[in-house]
A and B are shown apart, each in its own frame.
Chain A
């Protein structure tokens, strides 16, 4: 295009009159048809690729979600035909002391689990984020409880905290403290459950924080140090601020995890003693599969879901907001889960 400057007028080529104008039209149409045919072939392939996934996800994700909502407006025992009761299930939940206890227990559980696991996770990650001998071993040991299933944890700790034969009371005995009831004591059971889930849950916070700490730009820390910042100031003004996105993620993630606790409760206390460890999911399970009041259970599940979905939406909105308003050096382009793959 540079050659056709303003001084040299573009040579005008006459229209090729020898070509039949209909033929170009024909060709256009043929090209478009071929493209459409290819697109259709492409769509067929795409649907073949995606069909199984869509079938499973719609059939066992979207349909149950709506069905569950429908159930919550019905009195249904999953066996005989149910009947429509409108909002009665939700009204009854509000007046059910057992449900109120379940909500309270869940909130206490989450209220302790989230801050403690984050604080301990951050502290441990900061301690583990240095090049000393054996640090790999320490990291492994801190993290390994996280891969142990809640069932195995529950069975193991039910033994450790067994009032008669457990090693916990044996150790207390050695230091002269009288035996405790632990999981059999309504005043202690929830605290013991928290201890167990913290044992396994802290490791997750540690590895997420460790991964984030390794992404804190070394130049930033170095230049702060050259400017005369002591280690404490570097931590407070450089390291911690760059961990904020990870902290937001962990708060919400751990909150979601805490609201969904079930396996551990089922294995250790079955909601007891005296309802001291009945959490919402346990309440849902009990209503639907023990008392056969599925509609009531579904309503309770929807109450829980409001909290969970709110947390998930907050997380997504925050992540999207961050991506729009200029990402920090910590997570780079923020296009997906794999930008740190080279780490």
Chain B
């Protein structure tokens, strides 16, 4: 805006809408949207800030009314308790194993299944695909009781296997890979075909490197689903040595209701891997989640 624009808005008696806005922009060194967005987004972040702050408070500071809004010192007692006396390291490891195996196997089995649906012709493929699409709409709550019985029959209840087996591959992963492979040009593969590569070889060395967006999406969604799940571990696991972090955290909270700093320290440990993964790969996370939503 030049000086003449300023002069116009200063001299004009009837100030129109745009004129008013230039006037305000003159006074603020930044966009007025910051006045709305900064407090709003800070409000969203506040509970998480409080989570971290309270995990380094001393019990004395927390257990008084009204509690301190900001810690006076930096007390790691909560973390020491959680990592020393409780089984959080074990639960952390369990969660890593379950989420890691689930991600790896969804990538492998999902890609294999999706590729077969996208490129190969075999009897019953249409029926199977329809069946798979149908199970995608089925909520877990509907199948959780018989899934428990199947796991019991397999002798897996109360082992990490019970957590891993149902999430080995989801119909969603297969379908997502199928859609992605269908969008790739066939010609790339046909050249390798003619050179005598096997299907598996084509998939591994030609298609998979091109499928990075699909691989990332499946990895992110599987990781979030398995790491954050509570209801299935709650049903399938009784022994605390086999707890995941989510199950361990809620049990720990029930048993140590008054040791809030320790509970919050445990909570930070539970949330941190997801938060770090999200902050490191924010773009991938957001694209994965919006894509999962806007699927056809």
Contact = CB atoms under 8 A, between A and B. Distances in A.
Interface of A: 39, 42-43, 45-47, 49-50, 52-54, 56-65, 67-68, 71, 78, 124, 127-128, 130, 132-135, 137-152, 154-160, 162, 164-167, 169-171, 173-174, 199, 202-204, 207-208, 211-212, 230, 246, 249-250, 253, 256, 259-260, 262-263, 266-267, 281, 284-285, 288-289, 294, 297-298, 301-302, 304-305, 308-309, 312-313, 316, 319, 323, 331, 334-341, 343
Contacts of A67: 146, 149
- Which residue, of B198, B230, B249, has the highest number of chain A Cβ atoms within 10 A? B230
Interface of B: 17, 30-31, 33-34, 36-38, 40-42, 44-45, 47-48, 50-51, 54, 62-67, 69, 109-110, 112-113, 115-117, 120-123, 125, 128, 131-132, 135, 137-150, 165-166, 168-171, 174, 176, 179-180, 182-183, 198-200, 213-214, 217, 224, 227-231, 234-235, 246-247, 249-250, 253, 260, 263-264, 267, 270-271, 274-275, 278-279, 282, 285-287, 289-296
B67 A207 contact: no
Contacts of B293: 204, 208, 249-250, 253
B142 to A, nearest CB: 5
B113 A50 contact: yes
Nearest to A204: B289
Given A155-B250, A341-B213, 12 more contacts: A42-B121, A49-B112, A53-B174, A56-B165, A61-B171, A63-B146, A137-B41, A144-B48, A147-B278, A150-B228, A202-B44, A338-B179
A191 to B, nearest CB: 17
A340 B292 CA distance: 12
A302 B138 CA distance: 11
A106 to B, nearest CB: 12
A250 B290 CA distance: 11
Contacts of B227: 149
A246 B296 contact: no
Contacts, number: 328
B147 A64 contact: yes
Given A42-B122, A267-B230, A170 B66 contact: yes
Contacts of B278: 144, 147
Contact of B143 (A65, A78, A259): A65
A47 B145 contact: no
Contact of A59 (B50, B150, B198, B247): B150
Contacts of A170: 65-67, 69
